[in-house]
Structure 1
Amino acid sequence: MTALTATNAADFTVVRTRHFKLPITLTIVTVLLGVLFLLSPVTGESIFQISDRVSFDLADIHVPSAPTVWIAWVILAVLTAWTWWDAAAYRRTGLWLSIVFAVMAMFAFLTWAAQDGGVVPVAGTLAGALSLSVPLVYGALAGVIGERGGVVNIAIEAQLLLGAFAAVILSSITHNPFVGLIGAMIGGVFVAFILAAFAIKYLVDQIIVGVVLNVFASGLTGFLYGALLAPNEAALNTAVGFPRWKIPLLGDIPVIGPVFFNQTFIVYLMYVVIAVVAWGMYRTRWGLRLRAVGEHPQAADTVGIKVNPTRFWNVLLAGAIAGIGGAYFTLVSVPQFTKDMTAGLGFIALAAVIFGGWDPIKATLAALLFGFATNLQNLLTVLKTPIPSEFMLMLPYVVTILAVAGFAGKITAPAADGKPYIKG
């Protein structure tokens, strides 16, 4: 028996794989930045405004544009070479390198954009990025919950849109933003219920159902906007939004205080939802059952977990969370609903789910990255960079594609994601 075991062990072959996805992506980004800096030479100095001139006051940081840009570019080239070295040695590059590369690339790009005395408002940029990220974070968390349970939630866009619509009507009628928030959650649950019924009960293809729901929500809200909201704007389309509540002490911290701790109820609720979902996903019976039905539903059924009911209720939970993200549009951003005001953010939230590897924390970070990219187009317009305006509009989606296609590396969805379960 021992000899047989030794013989079998000797027959094993270790297969090692080189991973070139990340090195190729970093090389492309480094080359493109180098070409940009060469074709549009940097002059003067760039100014990074740390303070917001209201909550706190700190001196601006002045950096010489040309030396700073090229030093940062050399660092990017070294990091890129590092990833090639790791790939050649069959090693996986640590996540820290991608983060450092992204931060350094953004610093170099903003330094170039703010040349000749341009000002980059750091606190304002972060605040804008957080504001644009809130619906993405809620949508990404909804996507993580749904797909961890085995249901692909393409209908995040519909849940955001119907949530925004329901929130503005109920808030306008009752003059209470909390009632509007509850209405938004109901709107998200309504879309999720249709998705769950067709995908889980009637075994319709989940991708098709999600796409149809997105079109349905766009058409329904567009029709009701023209027939109901536009003629009765004062009564039905003038929402009472959430005010900003500053947290004592925390709100006074320079830079991050006004950004993170002088916010509205929906933002503070987002912090709680992130923490609860991240903790519950891996530390509670709910999370264990959710992951079980998404990874191996047959095994979960064997130990007594009701697979389809578990999936159904978690899809509804995900819809409620996405609905909160929709409420942010009409109860915080603007007090009115407009046609298709979510503008495809549900699909970017879905990309954040994939980029984040179906993990609540990583998906949240991905959503924050995409929110920053969306805000960046506004900043670059203010700085009057020579980049065409058409590219500015493309920027959030270009960053999304680069992140998912390149920086995400090899990621694996839950094994039963998108697969209906038929008992027996």
Structure 2
Amino acid sequence: MTELTGGPSLPQERRVVTAIPGPKSLELQARRSAVVAAGVGSTLPVFTTRAGGGVIEDVDGNSLIDFGSGIAVTSVGNSAEAVVRRATAQLADFTHTCFMVTPYEGYVAVCEQLAELTPGDHAKKSALFNSGAEAVENAVKIARVHTKRQAVVVFDHGYHGRTNLTMALTAKNMPYKQGFGPFAPEVYRVPVAYGYRWPTGPENCGPEAAAQAIDQITKQIGADNVAAIIIEPVLGEGGFIEPAKGFLPRIAQFAKDNGIVFVADEIQSGFCRTGQWFACEDEGIVPDLITTAKGIAGGLPLAAVTGRAEIMDSAHPGGLGGTYGGNPVACAAALGAIETMREMDLNAKAKRIEEVMKGRLAAMQEKFPVIGDIRGRGAMIAIELVKDPATKEPNAEAAGALAKACHAEGLLVLTCGTYGNVLRFLPPLVIGEDLLNEGLDIIEAAFAGL
């Protein structure tokens, strides 16, 4: 099944034949150290030769189970047939003209798909860009020109990018902000509904956190000064935090009541990752603007801002764009990725991944008290690790040790969280269930070895 594997020659199996990283990866790492800036990190320095389905093959012949998907990018796999086919055909026709010079159909077709797939039945328009951070920056530009206001509200534990403005929007200092200031002004941070750590318990978290956030906006900023409220419907880098029920609808209603543009940052959570096309659908949220990237194009660089036509049209001609934005090859890949998501019903596959993972992880939690919380939706699942379940003191050391143990056994996992104590799991939505369970076996053995 080429859709799953990226080609029949890539076996869907874990294979560890050297230490990880192996000798050839170590040689390449030495070359890298000489010429690549130290600030560019890697979770696991094994050098990839092929990838697809649920595995990554390295230069030493190891085949690793992939629970990272390039940070939620390769949801359809690293070499999905429709993505490769469409992108290859576009490469043969032309690689670039710049949509702002002479346009092409692929850009329009992607915008048509976005208008159809994103929440709400209102008239929608899109603008295409290269990266998630670029999409968020442009959402702020659009909101400011539409409202003629300046202030932007974001939330504790949020992550929105590494550019100057998006660093200001991002909550976590290290490694994203340390030493890189000063940052863009008129950015204000308010509480988010983090149920696991809410002082009065998760059952009270949604309404109490919303009341606190709205009170701070009203008193400290002034609702009439706010251009945009930006939130991830499932907070990614901050620890896969699902805002407690009721929080997002209340914040969205507050925005609507006060003429504030409500922006859903679906860069990590969008395109079937949570078992729905977009995570904000879970509570019926219809954002004014939605930012997308990562899973949109099967690994090629593409991002978008999609929203209400009257808001999107607020920017003057020439005010939005960029040389590479909506590159024709990336647009072709996006159409292939969306084709794959529809044909394989990847929302259903994401829900099945959640069922398997949460069942296995819940059984582990009963045996290993270091697991304080299991959360997330679809194939966006995380466990928060603590030193003591009673105090919930973060255990970043355990997260690091577990990731290292998994890597040594040929399972790629990622960490995250404001406190560095969360293991996050982002398997490709096309991963085979045998590989999924084998990866969970490795995780369980790593816990037993702590």
TM-score, normalisation: structure 2: 0.27
Structure with higher Rg: it is 1
More strand by share: 2
Which structure has more relative contact order (CA 8 Å, sep 6+)? It is 1
TM-score, normalising length: structure 1: 0.28
